[in-house]
Structure 1
Amino acid sequence: MTVLTLVGAAVAVGAWFLLLGVVLAATRGPAVRPGPATAALGPQSPAVVDLLTGGWVLSDEAASATLLDLAARRVVTIEEIGPELALVRLGRRDPARGEPDLAPYEQLVLDHVRTLATADGVVATGALAEGARSLGPWWRAFGKAVIAEARAAGLSRPRWSRAQRLLLLGAGAVPMAAVGFAAAAARSGSDGPLGPFAGGAVLTFALLSALVTRLDRECGTDAGGAAASRWLGVREHLAGARFAEAPAAAVTIWGRPLAYAAALGVAGRAVAGLPVAIPADDSRAWSDRGGMWHVVRVDYRGPGPWGRFFWGRAPLHLLGRLAIAAIPSWGVAFLIGILLRAFLDVPVPPELVGLLGALLVVGVPLVGLLLDVGGRGVVEGQVVRLRRRVRSQNENRTTYDHYVALDDGRSRTVRAFGTTAERWEQLTEGDEIRATVSRRVGWVHAAEILTPSRYRTGAPRTP
């Protein structure tokens, strides 16, 4: 009986996958082939063009191309003021005219820039990735808005219709029941068949439902396929226009063709200069501390050869690390002392060599910890990075080390201090704070927010 139920379950699952294959074949999008090269731009925005020509999958270039398009339309301006610095400048709002007539995803980009801009409405192009620990929620909202416009124009559609989704999920009841009966038959000697049946059935239906949802991606319509074909012809024309090395500020010369070139993947330098949808670099941050945008390098390791092991730890945790590190250090040095005495006849007791070895490893951070007990310093600066890194991980728990990097305006390299999870959660990148720190071991004991970050009203700050 068990063999028959297993065969029946396999047949039911196979039949469902056959049905899935038939529905997939019936709902596939149009084949898109590049049309003839043309310079004529169409009515679609650069973001929608990115969707159409990317196999109906939105790429990072869409956000950068949208910002370039806003610049071409004079909603913002992009100015190159040096070899490594360009600025995005917001246009002045006219209360009588109100906001410009923008699509929802264009408004998202403009709001993102406005959140990052200083009081005079300026943000460095490299700083467009600042202000959020994760751009995921913002990016999902941007993508939904672009897809909504494409669907409204009849260029895009979801792969499954409601009837097709109901067909696949309804048909999934057959393999669900078959696998449930097979699981119950396999556990016939247990207390009862209900538990195995329910477990097998629920697991099977959950997996099949997840697969249906996963495959329900955006798909092109016939009109969308025709538009994509024509835009690929535009891409062929723009690829020969030397847009690849044009900076973002060149939009003042080229206008909207540069924005479309960015969306079509042939304006790499302009896209790289506008990292709107790219998460900020952990080790490189943009700061406007002091009123002028500049780059600072963030170092998560302390000074000296042992900095990466002992820097940024809570005092008690650091003491534990030092104690653990002292034991193997003493053992290795003790062995070296024995070898020196045996082969080179060096008249030094191995015990003394072991002690010196342990002191060499743990002495400097231990002295720093002791000095910092009564000599904590105060630092005022702008929070330029808030990051957490996995310290340990097992099946039940993951623990993190939390870091906060402050730019006090004195150096182009800033060190990230360790802090507690609670204090880390209270801060936002861009906050001006006064922190009580242990400078020699890199730990923040207290932090007072002097000026809240303008990023607090911007993109979500999910870790």
Structure 2
Amino acid sequence: MTAVLAVLTSPTSSSLVVCGVVTAVAILIYNITARQSEPPPLEVYEATNRFPDDSPAVASVLTTGFVVTPHAAVATLLDLAARDWLSIEELEDDVAVITSHRGTAGDELAPHEQQILNHVHRITAGTVTGVSGAGIEVSGLRIRRRWWRRFQRSVAAASRSAGYSTRRWGAVALAAPVGAWIVAALLWWLSARNGEDDPIDESLFSRSLSVMLALVLVWQLARLVDLATSHSQRPTSSGLERAQVWLRARLALESERIGQRSSVTARDGDRRLAYAAAMGLAESASHEIPVVPEDSHRAWSDATGSWRVVRVRYPIRPAYGRHPGFVFLLGAAVGVGLWLLQRFLLEVARGEALQSLAEDFPEQADLIRDVGLVLAAIVTAPLVFAAWMVLAGLIDSVLSVERRGLVVRARRPERIVPLPRLLGRFFRRERFSLYVAVDDGSNPIVTAWLANERTAVPQGARARVVASPILGYIRRSEPIGTMERPRR
């Protein structure tokens, strides 16, 4: 750490302020570009029984915000069964996918359809040409990210070849946010290299702020790289027109209550169940053959009175979901302790503390000061976070937010962290905890709150939930009944 801080000079206050402002502007430009490139919300009120001759995967892209979701994979499997490339049969309390079929004469498969068919054949290798729905679910949990990205790329390419979409994050769309980031990074480098040559122990605060700005820039760069490699699409005019046709077809399928139909009904050329699965309607069929796990970050919701796709955020920062009073007291206690510790460590770095130790080991005096300086620099980050805990706990102790709507997602913490196979074990808690995302129709982006066993609500229910705005601590929840009482 000392080596990192030593490479940098002590940036002046003015250069730090300018660099911070430009970094904030770069992030603002990124957010504005992302918002402007989002597909517009579409609403339809008239149903139609006309189903265009698009693949279910492409229909899924058109109706779920021009993003390839797991609905497209399940719909493709059901479509293969309807076209006699596979068959789905009842198997006691489960279903079985039979792979002995070869499709009708002249029927050609698109690359994404071939990928799903190959995936099912791979699962059944060494068996009697069949796999249960449970086997498909287990295999889906083990799918590699590279396989899924290849499927997304194939479906996105099919949408573009049909003239329905273009790349959302092409070179033109990324030009402004990338240019702003380059300017911010250049200003940071100039401020870090052309500042004052003050001793590190006397300029620790300004150097630490400079390092924090560098971390923010690295984080922003990672977001830009992720967008550049994503397969999100931007609709064309014909794509928006076709999306409205499919949304009207969705209304027609919804009126048929197709959501309770089993996957075994996908046969004899009837592609309606596949199209229903593509648009998030075929709940039973999707649960029977989950080729890919359900998308935790996108969900269909009718909280506004009409169906739409919402995005779900899961904050994973420390102290999230904890009681505000506990967070305030913990932050205050830890903050005071860290502040006193940092003062002591800075005194060690200046040679004003532990002098007897330095006198006993004069050859190690410089090492002792360097260790004190390194530890003082390291303490800065948790000290800032402790201050944030005090502020968040204080605000959340007096403020609450209420949502009344549909629980679109309910997820355990270990399921939604990045790299769940690697990091999931670190997010398992001894006590039960559950992220609950309640859509009240006010925002297309829903932030999930963290519930305990007392306040948890199941996915699909309607509920009234009261939580703290920053820490996401659910104070109370009340499920709301939706079933009509039978008449006597």
TM-score, with length taken from structure 2:
0.50
* Counterpart amino acid of residue 13 in structure 1: T
> Which residue of the partner structure matches residue 231 of structure 1?
246
Secondary structure of 2:267's aligned partner: helix
Aligned: 1:255 with 2:270: yes
Which of 120, 124, 139 is equivalent to 2:132? 124
Q: CA deviation at 1:6?
A: 2.0
CA shift in 2, pair 1:107/1:165, >3 Å: same
> Residues of 2 paired with 1:262 and 1:162: CA distance?
33
**Who is 2:13 aligned against?**
3
Q: Secondary structure at the match of 1:75?
A: coil
Counterpart code for 1:116:
I
- Structure 1 residue 233: Cα displacement: 0.7
More strand by share: 1
Contact in 1 for aligned 2:163/2:238 (Cα 8 Å): yes
1:105 alignment partner, one of 89, 102, 112: 112
State the distance in 2 between where 1:269 and 1:197 align: 53
Q: Distance in 2 between matches of 1:246 and 1:175?
A: 55
Counterpart of 1:189 (choices 173, 198, 213) is 198
Partner of residue 115, structure 1: 122
Map 1:313-332 → 2, pairs under 5 A: none
The secondary structure found in structure 1 opposite 2:112 is helix
Q: 1:125 & 1:391 partners in 2: Cα distance?
A: 25
- Structure 1: gaps (5+ residues): 280-387, 394-463
In the other structure, the counterpart of 1:175 is 184
Cα RMSD after superposing both structures? 3.7
SS in 1 for 2:90: strand
Report what 2:150 is aligned to. Answer: 141
Match of 1:207 in 2: 219
Distance in 2, matches of 1:28 and 1:130, equals 34
Partner of 2:292: helix, strand, or coil?
A: coil
**Aligned equivalent of 2:360:** none
Identity fraction in percent: 29
1:62 is matched with which residue: 49, 72, 76? 72
Matches within 5 A, 1:295-310: none
| CA distance 1:67–1:26, shift in 2 (3 Å) | closer
CA contact (8 A) 2:84 2:101 kept: no
**CA–CA separation in structure 1 for the residues paired with 2:265 and 2:102:** 24
Kept in 2: contact 1:30–1:221 (CA 8 A):
no
Aligned to 2:42: 32
Q: Using the TM superposition, give the Cα deviation of residue 51 of structure 1 relative to its aligned residue in structure 2, in angstroms.
A: 1.7
Alignment check: 8 A CA contact 2:57 2:76 kept? yes
Within 1, Cα distance between the matches of 2:160 and 2:26?
30
Between the aligned partners of 1:48 and 1:161, the Cα distance in structure 2 is 20
Name the amino acid aligned to 1:263.
A
Distance 1:135 1:160 in 2: 26
Amino acid in the other structure paired with 2:113: E
Deviation of the 1:49 alpha carbon: 1.3
Please identify the structure whose Cα radius of gyration is greater: 1
Is residue 2:276 matched to residue 1:276? no
Give structure 2 stretches of 5+ with no counterpart. 1-10, 295-420, 427-488
**In 2, Cα distance between equivalents of 1:25 and 1:99:** 44
Q: Does 1:45 align with 2:67?
A: no
For residues 262 and 140 of structure 1, what CA distance do their matches in structure 2 show?
20
Q: Is the 8 A contact 1:155 1:220 kept in 2?
A: yes
- Structure 1 SS opposite 2:255: coil
| Deviation at residue 38 of structure 1 after TM alignment | 0.4
Secondary structure at the aligned position of 1:86 is classed as strand
Letter in 2 for 1:91: S
- What pairs up with 1:210-221 in 2 under 5 angstroms? 210-215=222-227, 217-221=232-236
- Contact kept? 2:85, 2:101, Cα under 8 Å: no
TM-score (norm 1): 0.53
Whether the aligned pair in 2 keeps the contact of 1:79 and 1:88 (CA below 8 Å) is yes
The answer for the alignment partner of 1:151 in structure 2 is 160
CA distance in 1, matches of 2:81, 2:164: 26
- AA aligned to 1:102 is L
Measured in 1, the distance between the counterparts of 2:140 and 2:208 equals: 46
2:100 aligned residue (75, 82, 91): 91
Counterpart in 2 of 1:404?
none
Provide the C-alpha distance between the structure 2 equivalents of 1:34 and 1:142, rounded to a whole number of angstroms.
29
Cα offset, 1:25, TM superposition: 5.1
What is residue 318 of structure 1 aligned with on the other side?
A: none
Change (3 A) 1:187 1:69: farther
Q: What is the CA-CA distance between 1:185 and the residue it aligns to? A: 6.2
Q: Deviations over 1:130-164 (max 9, x none)?
A: 44762133222212211111122222222233134
1:3 CA drift (Å): 2.1
Whether contact under 8 Å (2:70, 2:292) holds in the other structure is yes
Change (3 A) 1:182 1:62: same
Instruction: Check conservation: 2:63, 2:279, Cα contact below 8 A.
Output: yes
